[in-house]
Structure 1
Amino acid sequence: MNWYEKLNDYFPVEEMKSKQHMEILLRDKPEMYHKDEGPYHVLMYVETKEFVFIDYLWVSSKSRGQGIGHQLIEKTKQKKKPIILEVEPVNYEDSDSQKRLRFYKREGFKHAVSIGYRRRSLATNEVNELEILYWSPTDESEASILNKMKKTYEEIHTYMDKEIYGESYESVDKVLTIDEDKTDNILESN
């Protein structure tokens, strides 16, 4: 099975980029979009001067519990930049979603409670809500994380979307929002 098939078998269709989209990103944006692949993992990520965005992280079920995911996250943390990723909300009928969130919590990721992410899938036409998780070597604000997510959305998620999918994704300001009341509550609790 090739790297794309591994990702496509694991991630929900509404979260997946097409293989063409990822290959174009790897070709057109080699300074930003990267693939780290091994026999038991696939990591697709964006790296800028300011942050790393994990687009997809897959670890073979045959090798889970051997620390591969932890090693990949540790290697990424060594870059000393904030790390951001999107996850589906916990679905208590899907044990994988619970395991994923527990894994990221153990790795020191925080939930960006003030950031909303609602995107209409071009594959299913369904609105897909995701949660933003982040790890930061400094005390990164959620407003700063939001700006980094917006950059990722505009430069990666929607790159050549009309040409690849035949239609465009919604604008970044419709998809990514910040709840100022929740931001205020976070500041007050610190």
Structure 2
Amino acid sequence: MSESATMTLPNYFKRLNDYFPEQELKHPEQLEDLVKHASVYKKLEDEQFLILYAEFPNFLFVDYLLVSSKIRGKGIGTKVMKRLQSQGKPIVLEVEPEDPAEPDSIKRRKFYSRHGFHEANGVIYRRKDPKGNPFDMDILLWTPDGKTEADDESAYEMMTQVCEHVHNFHAKEYYGKMPADPNKVLSLETVAN
């Protein structure tokens, strides 16, 4: 990312940059600002995994979860997810739609499905990358009561808070605008059963 040419990138950002699509990455300085100054934002990291998440009073938001490619499939991601789920709060996250050309997108969906996450089909989440190209993300929700269907209204309310307190944290400083104005990027549609 050219914006970060004057700063030394933290190691965790380099790890994220090597794995996640560019459009899903925050500006490295915004991410560092979140880690250091946003009271809700947490980072857990070792050589096996990296997770960046927000802990709100009534739910958790998983921003990034990365397991080292050398040990994927060995249960590390499951241990991290169970640690979060043990807090007994709903967990919401964003994931790219499945794409057969991107096998990791399918693996991620299967991982979250195995851990009880369900898609909030009625929540439409459409962002724009730095070049202005729109892209969609699906919203997945896990609830401690084991519901097998996502509660779209709850997921929508959670994502509104995520946009306001995570994605837009000091955003004007880094992007010159709010990249995730919930009134523009989120909508709630009725889904027929």
Identity value in percent: 36
Q: Secondary structure at the match of 1:44?
A: strand
- The aligned counterpart of 2:178 is 168
Match of 1:63 among 51, 68, 71: 71
- The aligned counterpart of 1:33 is 41
Match of 1:43 among 33, 51, 56: 51
Q: Note if contact 1:89-1:131 (Cα within 8 Å) is conserved in structure 2.
A: yes
Q: Note if contact 2:92-2:142 (Cα within 8 Å) is conserved in structure 1.
A: yes
- The aligned counterpart of 2:120 is 112
- The aligned counterpart of 2:89 is 81
Give, in whole Å, the separation in 1 of the partners of 2:64 and 2:156.
19
After alignment, is 75-84 or 135-144 more displaced?
Answer: 135-144
- The aligned counterpart of 2:29 is 20
TM-score if structure 2 supplies the norm length?
0.89
Deviation, structure 1 residue 170 = 5.0
Give, in whole Å, the separation in 2 of the partners of 1:124 and 1:23.
22
TM-score if structure 1 supplies the norm length?
0.91
- The aligned counterpart of 1:156 is 166
Give, in whole Å, the separation in 1 of the partners of 2:179 and 2:64.
19
Larger relative helix fraction: 1
Give, in whole Å, the separation in 1 of the partners of 2:81 and 2:62.
10
- The aligned counterpart of 2:139 is 132
Q: Note if contact 1:14-1:124 (Cα within 8 Å) is conserved in structure 2.
A: no
Deviation, structure 1 residue 168 = 2.9
- The aligned counterpart of 2:19 is 10
Q: Secondary structure at the match of 1:39?
A: coil
The runs of 5 or more residues in structure 2 that have no matched partner are 1-9
After alignment, is 165-174 or 62-71 more displaced?
Answer: 165-174
Match of 1:98 among 103, 106, 115: 106
- The aligned counterpart of 2:155 is 145
Which structure has more relative contact order (CA 8 Å, sep 6+)? It is: 1
After alignment, is 159-168 or 39-48 more displaced?
Answer: 159-168
Count of residues in correspondence between the two structures? 181
